[in-house]
């Protein structure tokens, strides 16, 4: 199980990457940096909260996990 701090750090790092990409894409279409930043920030704020909740829910699912094996030599 991951600690909440790890989930928060993963959420922030992913959203920063996503924010920059969103701003670039919106700027490409509008040529207005203020609009691109405003829209990108609004979208990313909502998505950050949703991603964190998604990450915490997946942390409770055991699908695809396995217990570490103790190997004896």
**Residue pLDDT, tens place only, 13-44:** 988 898 899 999 999 999 999 999 999 999 88
The stretch 47-60 carries a mean pLDDT of 87
CA torsion, ordered 15, 17, 20, 23, to nearest 10 deg: -50
Cα distances from 5 to residues 10, 52, 59, in angstroms, run: 9, 11, 13
Dihedral (CA of 15, 18, 20, 23) sign: negative
Q: With left for phi above 0 and alpha for psi between -120 and 50, is residue 64 left, alpha or beta?
A: left
The stretch 50-67 carries a mean pLDDT of 84
Name the pLDDT band for 65 (thresholds 50, 70, 90): confident
């Amino acid at each position: 199980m991951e600690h909440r701090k790890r989930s928060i750090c993963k959420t922030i790092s992913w959203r920063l990457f996503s924010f920059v990409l969103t701003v670039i894409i919106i700027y490409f279409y509008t040529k207005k940096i203020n609009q691109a930043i405003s829209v990108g920030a609004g979208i990313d704020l909502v998505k950050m909260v949703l991603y964190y909740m998604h990450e915490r829910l997946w942390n409770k699912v055991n699908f695809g996990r396995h217990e570490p094996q103790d190997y004896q030599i």
